[in-house]
Structure 1
Amino acid sequence: MIKVIIAGIENQQSNFDYLMQELAELAYANNMQVVADIRQGLQRPVAATYLGKGKIEELSRLAEVKGAEMLILNDELSPTQIRNLEKETALAVLDRTELILEIFSSRARTKEAQLQVEIARLKYKLPRLRTSSNEKLDQQSSGGSLANRGAGETKLEINRRTIQKRIAQLSRDLKNLDKEQEIQSSSRRESGLPSVALVGYTNSGKSTTMNGLLNLLSDTDIPPAKQVMTKDMLFATLDTSVRKLRFQDKREFLLSDTVGFVSKLPHNLVKAFQSTLAEVKNADLLLHVVDLSDKHSAEMVKVTTETLKELGVENTPTIYAFNKADKTDSRYPVIEGQQITYSARDAKSLHALADLIKRVLFKDYKTHKYFISFEQGRYLEKINQLALVTDTTYNENGAIITAEISPAQEEYFARFLTE
């Protein structure tokens, strides 16, 4: 495990302690050991080196004593700042943005996530190319010889063009993959099933909550292969999982687990993952999971809300689910309006959460009686597919159906109303 020193500038940030603690957890998530935490109370970063001269000398001595090989900074640095720090400290230097990108790169499992992360990493690298760049950039080319370039073209310009071509190719590949994903999403929407999306800070317990609901609202035990991976670590999983769940009264809904958020999530990464987060944008209900046991939970809610806003998600109905109450002195499960205090590892809590989801998700559904003639059999098939049919009787002309209907379906089947 590589030994690292983390460092940051307070810069009048009220949540500075929290950000530094989170930086240490990000380093751990990237299989690094933090051996020292350096902080400086500057009003703004030093233009050339980010940290002041005295602080750089201090951390250089500390790195030698602790055997550190790398310095990780709490902000996104300019190429000049990184280059100068590497020269001054003789350490490899990583800023917060690149650290997060490295974690995402190592955790991406699906083809879509891998493409999204690689695009974000290349966009980060593009303005940071140096004339001393090694041959790895050339190897990322999507093909084609560079031997015939103009004689005056530098290696840096060639590398820049190579990365730009690679980004363009990856973007095309992602666009084609997005079309396939959109077909799947459209199919889910056409099923008429309402959807619930789990959102929240990374490591807040979203995946544990999803697995708990899967086991509760399924007829049989869910095998490990069908469950969502959980681990006590930031960004344990990046891939979106969608499952169909059924209540005892046969009402059904789709539940999706998505990538978690974190402070200062790189803009290019948010942009790259917009297609993955489409399940959030299209959801009928958000389940905002919060780690109640973390003293910074209010900051986590703020970060998640701001990231959702950046994605264009602001007015979707939301249940605030304060998880990990078993690690606090709070009573649980407790429901107050559209808020629940619970533990995702507690059966009684999961029952309460499921009841709350059902109450909020189906609150605008109404029960009506319809008559559909045999000549309009395709509508009979449609209502059985989309709605919760509770009773069906027949006469010589057609079917009399009692069904619970969503607001959107209500308008679609209005012509068949009998009462």
Structure 2
Amino acid sequence: MVDATLEKAILVGCQVNDNDERFGYSMEELARLTETANGEVITTFIQKRDRVHPATYIGKGKLEELRAAVEELEVDIVIFNDELSPSQIRNLSKELEVRVIDRTQLILDIFAQRAQSREGKMQVELAQLKYSLPRLAGQGTSLSRLGGGIGTRGPGETKLETDRRHIRKKIDEINRQLQVVVSHRDRYRDRRKRNNTYQIAIVGYTNAGKSTLFNRLSEGNVYEENQLFATLDPTTKKLVLPSGYTTLITDTVGFIQDLPTSLVAAFRSTLEEVKEADLILHVVDSSNADYVQHEKTVEELLEELGVEQSLQLTVYNKRDVQLSSFIPSEGIDSIQISAFNEEDREMLKKRIEKSVVSSMKAYRFYLPDSEGRVNALLKQETILTSRHYDEEKRSYHCQGFALENHPIWGEIARIEKEYQHDVE
């Protein structure tokens, strides 16, 4: 439940490289994350340094300016644009006498708000506990209970034990529970594989329009909104291609620059859906000024997850509001669409079908009209490109494509053996 009142926040960033554009966008993103977490950005402090200060992140002079602003503006929270060390949080909290959180805590807080499923809530709590464990010393009662504002919320407003032993015990317990959920997911995935179902996964930077596209391709009802991390729990629906062939398509959690490693680890089981996919649709927001960096971030995270072999189609979304300077990446399979445009979606479905066909094996044979069951299988579970009835042979001449390990090949071999003399 989102709080009715906004929390007043000061944002702080330390630029340690010469890439002004990337740093500027990172700070803009921090502001959007803060707004998503129900915060109001009052002002922003930026300092350029060769490296962050090991004790206080920013230098002494800038820290004094920040302390004066905290007192004058009566803010509720100060949010830093990097992951702070336990000692930095401790020192900054002491100096500023206000709640201090970092980018990781902010993202964890948003995930805590978004998680709907039991698995999602457990994954968020696990990441929060792992994050808090080394940061307990010197925090007093500030971490004793979740639910006190941005960076402290947890699924179900659960109590966060300050005792390390208790937290480790809780981590072990959640890991055991998650293992049960993961094993259920694995069994479900294995069943889909045994049923030879073609699987598609949608990935992309947060707010690229994945859920909007997913809903309109699959007639699903995933929450879609112009905000970061609108979708957290993965959803799988059927997607029927122009030929009538049915696939499964999964919407996944959005990626983000500097995604906390604890979250990547916690959601690894969820992201297994991506690893197991036959085709990945990488959705990129072509209206965003930082689309190149977004595309690169997602590719790097996919590589980190070990996603290598799958076919990939890059979908440059929001063509209707695309940047005038937009240039698609070279050397990749891509398409430019607007998820709201029906013609664009049909064009995308055809491209998806082309990718599906490229991973299939072609068949061509005569099917006797007495083989009604096999006829139905061809229509439902393969891409049947042509079927003509030959009255003389009393058979259908069928051409199409099927997944290489599909049971249909056994039926085709049987029919060719049983009826080869009748159709010659």
Deviations 1:230-258 (A, max 9, x none): 01000011011111121242111111110
**Equivalent residue, structure 2, for 1:405:** 402
**Equivalent residue, structure 2, for 1:206:** 210
1:11 is aligned, of 12, 16, 24, to 16
Following the alignment from structure 1 to structure 2, what is the Cα–Cα distance between the partners of residues 166 and 181? Answer: 22
CA positional deviation for 1:378: 10
Match of 1:234, as an amino acid?
A: L
- Gaps spanning 5+ residues in structure 1: where? 140-156, 215-221, 394-398
Following the alignment from structure 1 to structure 2, what is the Cα–Cα distance between the partners of residues 377 and 326? Answer: 47
CA positional deviation for 1:385: 6.6
For 2:405, what is the secondary structure of its paired residue? Answer: helix
- Does 1:75 find its partner at 2:79? no
Match of 1:98, as an amino acid?
A: Q
For 1:103, what is the secondary structure of its paired residue? Answer: helix
For 1:276, what is the secondary structure of its paired residue? Answer: helix
For 1:94, what is the secondary structure of its paired residue? Answer: strand
Change (3 A) 1:138 1:77: closer
Following the alignment from structure 2 to structure 1, what is the Cα–Cα distance between the partners of residues 226 and 145? Answer: 37
Does 344-353 or 297-306 show the bigger shift? 344-353
CA positional deviation for 1:125: 0.7
2:188 is aligned, of 177, 184, 188, to 184
Following the alignment from structure 2 to structure 1, what is the Cα–Cα distance between the partners of residues 215 and 225? Answer: 12
Following the alignment from structure 1 to structure 2, what is the Cα–Cα distance between the partners of residues 263 and 44? Answer: 20
Change (3 A) 1:130 1:323: same
For 1:178, what is the secondary structure of its paired residue? Answer: helix
Following the alignment from structure 1 to structure 2, what is the Cα–Cα distance between the partners of residues 4 and 135? Answer: 17
Does the Cα contact within 8 Å between 1:200 and 1:301 map onto a contact in 2?
Answer: yes
CA positional deviation for 1:408: 3.3
2:176 is aligned, of 158, 172, 175, to 172
Deviations 1:190-216 (A, max 9, x none): 2222111110000000011111212xx
Following the alignment from structure 2 to structure 1, what is the Cα–Cα distance between the partners of residues 292 and 143? Answer: 42
Deviations 1:309-364 (A, max 9, x none): 111012321111111121136699x9997211111111221121111111122224
Following the alignment from structure 1 to structure 2, what is the Cα–Cα distance between the partners of residues 331 and 158? Answer: 51
CA positional deviation for 1:404: 2.8
Aligned alpha-carbon RMSD (Å): 3.3
- Does 1:369 find its partner at 2:365? yes
- Map 1:196-235 to 2 at 5 A: 196-214=200-218, 222=219, 226-235=220-229
For 2:179, what is the secondary structure of its paired residue? Answer: helix
Following the alignment from structure 1 to structure 2, what is the Cα–Cα distance between the partners of residues 57 and 370? Answer: 83
Does 244-253 or 200-209 show the bigger shift? 244-253
Does 168-177 or 15-24 show the bigger shift? 15-24
2:51 is aligned, of 27, 38, 44, to 44
Does 362-371 or 3-12 show the bigger shift? 362-371
Following the alignment from structure 2 to structure 1, what is the Cα–Cα distance between the partners of residues 242 and 295? Answer: 32
- Does 1:253 find its partner at 2:247? yes
Change (3 A) 1:52 1:164: same
For 2:244, what is the secondary structure of its paired residue? Answer: coil
Change (3 A) 1:127 1:323: same
- Gaps spanning 5+ residues in structure 2: where? 1-5, 147-160, 390-394
Following the alignment from structure 2 to structure 1, what is the Cα–Cα distance between the partners of residues 139 and 7? Answer: 24
Q: TM-score, normalised by structure 2?
A: 0.82
Following the alignment from structure 2 to structure 1, what is the Cα–Cα distance between the partners of residues 54 and 167? Answer: 27
- Map 1:262-411 to 2 at 5 A: 262-328=256-322, 338-365=333-360, 366-369=362-365, 386-388=381-383, 402=398, 404-409=401-406
Does the Cα contact within 8 Å between 1:201 and 1:260 map onto a contact in 2?
Answer: yes
Does the Cα contact within 8 Å between 2:286 and 2:323 map onto a contact in 1?
Answer: no
For 2:283, what is the secondary structure of its paired residue? Answer: strand
Following the alignment from structure 2 to structure 1, what is the Cα–Cα distance between the partners of residues 117 and 397? Answer: 43
Aligned identity (percent) is 37
Following the alignment from structure 1 to structure 2, what is the Cα–Cα distance between the partners of residues 331 and 258? Answer: 29
Deviations 1:17-63 (A, max 9, x none): 11111111111110101111111101111111111111111112222
CA positional deviation for 1:134: 3.6
For 1:165, what is the secondary structure of its paired residue? Answer: helix
CA positional deviation for 1:377: 12
Match of 1:126, as an amino acid?
A: L
Size of the aligned set, in residue pairs, is 388
Does the Cα contact within 8 Å between 1:196 and 1:283 map onto a contact in 2?
Answer: yes
